[in-house]
Structure 1
Amino acid sequence: MKQFLTALSAWGLVLGLFLLTCSAQAQGTATLRGTVADSLSGQPLAGVSVGLQGQPGSTATDALGNFRLSDLKPATYTLRVGALGYRSQAVPVLLKAGETQRLNVRVATTTLSLAEVTVSQPRDPNQSLAAISHIDQLLRPVNSAQDLLRLVPGLFIAQHAGGGKAEQIFLRGFDCDHGTDFAVSVDGLPVNMVSHAHGQGYADFHFVIPETVEQLKVYKGPYTARFGDFATAGAGEFSTKTRLEHSQVKLEVGQFATRRALVMLDLLGPDHHLLSKRPESAYVAAEYNFTNSYFDQPQHFKRFNGMAKYTGQLSDKTALTVLGSHFASNWDASGQIPERGIEQGIISRYGSIDPTEGGRTSRTNASVVLTTALPHDAVLRQQAYYSKYDFSLFSNFTFFLHDSINGDEINQTDNRNLFGYTATYERDDQLGARSLHSTLGVGTRNDFSTLGLRHTVRRETLDTISTGRLFEQNINVYLDETLTLTDRLTVNAAVRADFFAFDFRGRRTDEGTGLPAPLAGRVARARVSPKLNLYYQLSPAVQLFARSGFGFHSNDARGVIQGVNANVLPRAIGSEIGSTFKPLPSLVVNAALWSLHLQDELVYVGDDAVVESTGPTQRYGLDLSVRYQLGSRLFLDGDFNYNHGRQLDAPEKANYIPLAPTFTSTGGLTYKAPKGLSGSLRYRHIDSRPANDDGSIRAKGYFLLDAVLAYTTPRFQIGASAENLLNVEWNQAQFATQTRLINTPKREPLEGVDELHFTPGTPFYAKLNVSVFF
């Protein structure tokens, strides 16, 4: 904390000196204030671009839809207001000396046009992928919660438990496991679980109903102060809809006994905004999923999601959002299978060594957000949230390696209560002719959990390996400043401080045996993370950026208190240079050359209750995203990502980072019409890469084609989707694992066999859906 106070004081001194050297605001200038809202609902819109035609610089609306343009010379201007998916507005404005004029602008939705996309992000410059993400959200078909994660450019996922577990995530040369190096949030609720029973940073995204998601903000690298733990490779912020355009009932049927039902109901009615004095909305949504999947052993996968959300203006200066949701799922799984099991005819490609794997999980969330406009163009946003989370997973990764009689099946359990609070104070100031956007944020997260790891056979407990109570607390504070140094150059400087308290109290189930005392202890650590980012608007169609920052990911509490490594919060140091530009009016390109050094990839392996460390690593790469509008309704997109990573302390020929992707690419061709026929043909490709340190075992790459078709009218929609059009045999999750099988044609050694294990990917898979709107 002392380091943070020193850094904060230094930044305050620099800012103070800048204020002293700035000239007084010119006399006789004018100010333009206003609010931008949706023309249909009346709801204020945040992040809308606002500027004066022919004038340098621009701004964006705040969380309450407000904007301000100051220090304007008396004249007649044209105010331009634009947001992706909304019709641009051009409003003539006559400003007189010394006056403050107010405007209320309402914008209507319209079809997507990339010619209207702007490449600058005046309020949130670190979100350089904003244009790309907004385009993808409007264009790309989303059929499941997994598809939402695929909206992140360059992100790949893999499932290896019948759809019930959180996906394995790959991004920027990281095998993020289930979220160790990628932070995910939904409506401000953290998705990643610290010190989880199965893996650090476990991010189960399945409690989100895909049709309710309205926006995704993507941040790659550790350059944004708002994100702390796990945001090394990047972070994704998902937001659900504030209102429904219409109520909807949807039914889906597909191969492998797949069924899904969705209901979304607008509780206030489409004309409520005409009767209400202040804009407000409320809706509920629920979905039910069932599938047996494509494995030989039926998966009996079931999932229920329900949510309710209210958004309203309590006054001209205060908005309230209340959200509640519940998620429950249970399933059977076939797990990862060894290549030799198929080669020796023990199982088929879609078979299982241990058919009793599977699990159940649930999560209940409650969140309240209060946003208040304060004097001096400031906005205070406060959020309090609570999650009740339960998890029980049965897995068998090594089969009969440790117990040749009963097998090695384990049960991991996590019974958790999560409380949190965040607050941000944002303010816009004028320093002479320059604008300064300041954000002060504070927050706390508190996890209380009972964790367990047990040895089981056919889901019956044989013995307890470890169990105990967890308390983990994070307290954080950050200061973020964005200053326009010139009409073209913007600097973003920030510093963040995090304090962690790790507390784990192991329980003894074998008292009186003379065994050592169970694992217990408490450790406290802090981390300060400065950031510095520069943005240069070379032209209205070209923005250059250079970013740098420190980040971290925490270790599991059980690993921390064991003192296996003093590096409790391994530091990440990242930097990148790049550009978002439009070489043609309908062509948007984002390119970044990046590098990231991770001090220690130290993780607690919940499968074995041990701590593993690969030491420091270095990665660099190139990201390229292209979005092109070929015609009024035809769009082409592609993401191309090259990554190179190595362990720094390992010998040259044994320094690969296992499973880290080296080249990935996604893309597609989309025909998008507001009504009538729409369709999309998409591909996914990931190359083969080392699965262990020396590359002697390799994870196999793949190339897949998917397709979606839909026919839409104002009253109904009929659609079809097909995954893996070419019916390719591909491996989804893949690992180099040492295992032992019994009852094989050739007796296996006691130490087992080290080879590639995998979960087979989806074969050709077709679904039909029909929706009714009302």
Structure 2
Amino acid sequence: MSSLLRQTPRSPLLTAAALAALCACLPAAAQEARLAALTVKGQALAASQAAFSTQHLTQEDLAATGAQEVEDLWRQVPGMHVNDYQLSGVANAVVLRGFGGGGHGGDIAATLDGITLNEAMSHADGYFDLNVVVPLEVEEVTVHKGPVSVLQGNFNRAGLVALQTRRSGTYTEAQLQAGSHGTYDLQGALGRQLGADDQMFLAAQSYTTDGARPDADARRHTLSGRWHHRVDSRLDFALSARWHEARGDSPSYLTQAQWQRDPQGKDPRVQGDGSEKTFATLRLDVNYALSDSTQLLAFAYGTRQDFVRWFTRPRSGTWMQREERYDRDVLGMGLQLSGSAALAGAPLEWLLGTERQQEDTDYGYREGTQNRQRMAAAVSDRRTALDTMAAYAQAHWKLAPWLQPSMGVRWDRFTGDCRRLGAETGSDTCERMATTRHASPKLGVTSQIAPQTTLRASWSEGFALASDFAKYALGTAGLDPNVFRQTELGVQWAPHRSLWLDLAVYRTTSSNEIRNVAPGVYENFGSTRRSGAELQAHWTPLSKLELQWSYGRMHSRVTENANAALVGKQVTAVPAYTSTVQASYRPTAGWTLRAIWRHVGRGAVDAANTQWSRAYQVGDMGAQYALPRSLGWGDAQLSLWVRNVTDQRYASSTSVIGGERLVAPGAPRTVTVGLKFAL
């Protein structure tokens, strides 16, 4: 499969344009002949998730904010935040439920149409990059908060982000945006019914920018396609593929003093930083209806990725560039059986599944490169393998409106190996991984106590393997996984048709944290407690005015550590709170005025809590105008957005590296104009 994935088109936009033109010539089938959307992994779990805190975001949410990245949606989720590194082609750190290592680390699981995006051994375990997704192709994004989903294991600590692309409908859509700093974004999406038994869906994006800082240019191109064929009334299948390429330069971070003098400057010691990436996936889904109430889904997928980055930062009293390379091959397959039945006269929805994934990563690490030129031998040059076998089950029983329990469990088994590909100067261990097993239960219940009020409560467990190369050390053979247990209470209240509220409080404790005692020696010792509250409110005081508020407060503390001085300290990179207020006003027909105000609290920068990031607030304002249909462009819309409207100086990420406090400058005021149309 890897050889097939390597054969990718070198001009995605030309290919997309050609395919779009071809499909545009094909007439859409009549409405009554339209195919039903193919079931994807986990889709049958929708009802059971009511017992847990989940948030659904749609294409309409993306369109309302003119988003150029899926990541822009996270500010609409209470307690979710992006520590933006402002490094071209490098995933940012995402905060959720008091965990600060999602995206750039392994605290959050991420899937795209059932394909795992988390990388087993890239940067930190669990790294994922959502730039491989075209925003215009997204149908829905579901954020599962906490380790509540049975669909993911090792990286499902703070939660799961599940993205689903469009898989039904006939449409032709395009969006063009141009903005400050030489930024251009072109997206297209097309859906066609090809006769009675076939559907095709295509999407493409080309994004370029010169960046607000010196040497901050970036380019990325993405093309995706999906073909769905119905064999008969019971059997259908879908074949989907994706190709993504990204290149960019990076000015790295600034010291605190440099940032105060010139918030959009560049350290002269940074030369040649940046990244290059190619990414491709291929997936086959086969769906068979065993009966009117039972479905069998079989799937297989492959991923091929080549990624390299160059990054300069303080080290050993100077600034030094490093090179990191990650070449990945992933092969996954699985079966899923879902259905509905009656138990004690009440509806029962259930799901059983099993999945296996093999991931191989060729990892190269070098220090002291100069302007991307290698000057020394490799610190690491090795290949790792991680083999995951999983089984899961979940059921949701609608016993009565006031009692609807959900029960689930996931079992994981991990094996792996590590071998050196060449000479190394580093000392990280590289041995066969000891077999690790873990079962994670998920329990929840919902209760509608009144027509306008629904309560929920849940208890769920997640886990984490030893990080990085520690899992390939003989010293971790007898250790248990790091276990996370979350307890949550929530309420949804809709006292009036114009007002909707959702409130959740949670507490997550970790135990058996894995620490390095001496070279090659590890132990289970350490714990952390995370607690918080999340509020989401939607109010429509007038027919022309909508208000939304998303607020999250997080309290993450170390409760046990070998260093007694750290007990009681706050977990780094987690803001005390996040708050987003959104307003939408329609003064006249065709016009929509929008405003978004984001407030982020301060957070600890170092483990000892001697340094803190500053709280900040930033606002966006926009106007959208629906063009008359008489122009022949269908549903066309012009938009104007001013980001960071007050030109606020703020740090989108603050860290301490090599003893120096470093700042990733937040983006200055930018202006973007756009045109979107749907034929």
| Interval of TM-score (by shorter of Structure 1 and Structure 2) | 0.7 to 0.9
Instruction: Return the match for 1:42 from 4, 16, 34.
Output: 34
Q: Could you say what secondary structure the match of 2:279 adopts?
A: strand
Report the counterpart of residue 322 of structure 1 in structure 2.
Answer: 239
Instruction: Return the match for 1:768 from 669, 673, 678.
Output: 673
Q: Could you say what secondary structure the match of 2:171 adopts?
A: coil
Alignment map for 1:145-294 (pairs within 5 Å): 145-177=70-102, 178-196=104-122, 198-243=123-168, 245-268=170-193, 276-278=195-197, 280-294=198-212
**How far does residue 151 in structure 1 lie from its aligned partner after superposition?**
4.7
| 186-195 or 559-568, which deviates more | 559-568
Partner AA of 2:648 in structure 1: V
Change in 2 beyond 3 A, CA 1:137/1:408: closer
CA distance in 1, matches of 2:514, 2:668: 36
Report the counterpart of residue 351 of structure 1 in structure 2.
Answer: 266
Report the counterpart of residue 723 of structure 1 in structure 2.
Answer: 643
Report the counterpart of residue 297 of structure 2 in structure 1.
Answer: 381
Partner AA of 2:196 in structure 1: K
Q: Could you say what secondary structure the match of 2:136 adopts?
A: helix
Change in 2 beyond 3 A, CA 1:153/1:517: closer
CA distance in 2, matches of 1:224, 1:516: 37
Q: Deviations over 1:67-118 (max 9, x none)?
A: 9xxxxxxxxxxxxxxxxxxxxxxxxxxxxxxxxxxxxxxxxxxxxxxxxxxx
CA distance in 2, matches of 1:358, 1:705: 29
**How far does residue 227 in structure 1 lie from its aligned partner after superposition?**
2.4
CA distance in 2, matches of 1:243, 1:301: 33
Report the counterpart of residue 226 of structure 2 in structure 1.
Answer: 309
Partner AA of 2:132 in structure 1: F
Q: Could you say what secondary structure the match of 1:386 adopts?
A: strand
CA distance in 1, matches of 2:338, 2:215: 52
CA distance in 1, matches of 2:263, 2:643: 21
Q: Could you say what secondary structure the match of 2:71 adopts?
A: helix
**How far does residue 681 in structure 1 lie from its aligned partner after superposition?**
0.7
Alignment map for 1:675-714 (pairs within 5 Å): 676-713=590-627, 714=629
CA distance in 1, matches of 2:230, 2:595: 41
Change in 2 beyond 3 A, CA 1:416/1:236: same
Q: Deviations over 1:239-292 (max 9, x none)?
A: 111145532333221111112222334455xxx5xxx334x4213222111111
For the 8 Å contact 1:249–1:772, the answer to whether it is kept is yes
How many residue pairs are counted as aligned between the two chains? 633
For the 8 Å contact 2:549–2:580, the answer to whether it is kept is yes
Report the counterpart of residue 597 of structure 1 in structure 2.
Answer: 509
Report the counterpart of residue 25 of structure 2 in structure 1.
Answer: none
Q: Could you say what secondary structure the match of 1:146 adopts?
A: helix
Q: Deviations over 1:206-239 (max 9, x none)?
A: 0000011011122111122222121111111111
CA distance in 2, matches of 1:517, 1:340: 35
**How far does residue 518 in structure 1 lie from its aligned partner after superposition?**
7.0
For the 8 Å contact 2:390–2:411, the answer to whether it is kept is yes
Alignment map for 1:501-540 (pairs within 5 Å): 501-509=415-423, 519-540=430-451
The higher radius of gyration belongs to 1
For the 8 Å contact 1:183–1:230, the answer to whether it is kept is yes
Partner AA of 2:651 in structure 1: N
Is 1:586 the equivalent of 2:503? no
Give the alignment's Cα RMSD to 1 decimal. Answer: 3.2
Partner AA of 2:108 in structure 1: F
CA distance in 2, matches of 1:614, 1:689: 25
Q: Could you say what secondary structure the match of 2:132 adopts?
A: coil
Change in 2 beyond 3 A, CA 1:596/1:41: farther
TM-score normalised according to structure 1 size: 0.76
Report the counterpart of residue 576 of structure 1 in structure 2.
Answer: 488
Partner AA of 1:288 in structure 2: S
For the 8 Å contact 1:132–1:625, the answer to whether it is kept is no
Alignment map for 1:650-661 (pairs within 5 Å): 650=561, 651=564, 655-661=569-575
**How far does residue 673 in structure 1 lie from its aligned partner after superposition?**
10
Is 1:553 the equivalent of 2:464? yes
**How far does residue 158 in structure 1 lie from its aligned partner after superposition?**
2.6
- Structure 2: 5+ residue stretches without partners: 1-29
Q: Could you say what secondary structure the match of 1:202 adopts?
A: coil
**How far does residue 521 in structure 1 lie from its aligned partner after superposition?**
2.6
Change in 2 beyond 3 A, CA 1:441/1:359: same
| 244-253 or 723-732, which deviates more | 244-253
Q: Could you say what secondary structure the match of 2:489 adopts?
A: strand
Report the counterpart of residue 3 of structure 1 in structure 2.
Answer: none
For the 8 Å contact 2:78–2:578, the answer to whether it is kept is no
CA distance in 2, matches of 1:398, 1:610: 28
